[in-house]
Structure 1
Amino acid sequence: MKFLCLGYLDMKAFDDAPEAEKGEILKTCFDQCIPFRATGRVVEEEGLQNVSLAKSIRPRNGSPFVTDGPFLETKEQLGSFFIVEADSIEEAVRVASLHPAALFGEKYGFGIEVRPIQ
């Protein structure tokens, strides 16, 4: 089975962090990804560009209506995604728990949501 894992963060808190701190966070993320990737269960993994570059599309009067920004206005924004191949959601959660967003960055709202793909 495949599972979509969504990585969230508080983009404003991260953007407001001092540059040196952001550099440390990114280095830690890179280092923490080594055991995560070594599981052999990660099919795809990508970070997303800043939410300010997002476009949302909704139906309006039978036509697509495009707006700037994310679909939902929330404190935590989608910052990355990865796909895990696993035999169960429990195994997918174990793999996702090795991702940096599950290990540190509480003050930046880091977190991961794991969802089965149909």
Structure 2
Amino acid sequence: MKYLGLAYFTPERFAAMAPDDVKALVTQCPPLDEKMRATGKVLVSASLGDLDQWVTLRPHSGKTRISDGPYTESKEVVGGLFIIEADSRDEAVRIASMHPAAMLGEEGGWAVELIPMDFYLGG
């Protein structure tokens, strides 16, 4: 079974952190990401680009409406994603718990949501 992991953060809380605290937090991420990838179960792992470069496309009156920036109803924003292929939910949770957003960054509002996927390849 494949699982999508969404790593969230709260931009306002993250922006309120002292620069040295942000640097200390971010420097802890690469070793944790590597530990997670070393399981051999991570198919994709990526951080997402700067919020000011995001574009949202929505249907409107039969056309596509394009707006700048993320459009979310909550204060949390997805900052990264990963896909795990695991033999069980417990294994997926164990691997996802290695992600930096599951272990660090409480002050920045970090969190991980793990979602089972129906995975289809085009054909």
TM-score (norm 1): 0.91
Moved over 6 A (4+): none
TM-aligned CA deviation for residue 96 of structure 1: 0.2
- Quote the Cα distance in structure 2 between the aligned partners of 1:46 and 1:5: 10
Deviates more, 1:68-77 or 1:56-65: 68-77
Structure 2 gap ranges (5+): 119-123
Q: Is the 8 A contact 2:5 2:112 kept in 1?
A: yes
- The SS at the match of 1:40 is coil
- 1-structure distance, mates of 2:50, 2:76: 12
Aligned length: 118
What aligned pairs does 1:72-91 form with structure 2 within 5 A after superposition?
72-91=72-91
Percent of counterpart pairs with the same letter?
A: 37
Q: What's the secondary structure of 1:12's corresponding residue?
A: helix
More helix by share: 1
- Tell whether the 8 Å contact from 2:6 to 2:78 is kept in structure 1 after alignment: yes
Stretch deviating more after TM superposition (96-105 or 11-20): 11-20
CA distance in 2, matches of 1:84, 1:60: 34
CA RMSD of aligned residues (A): 1.3
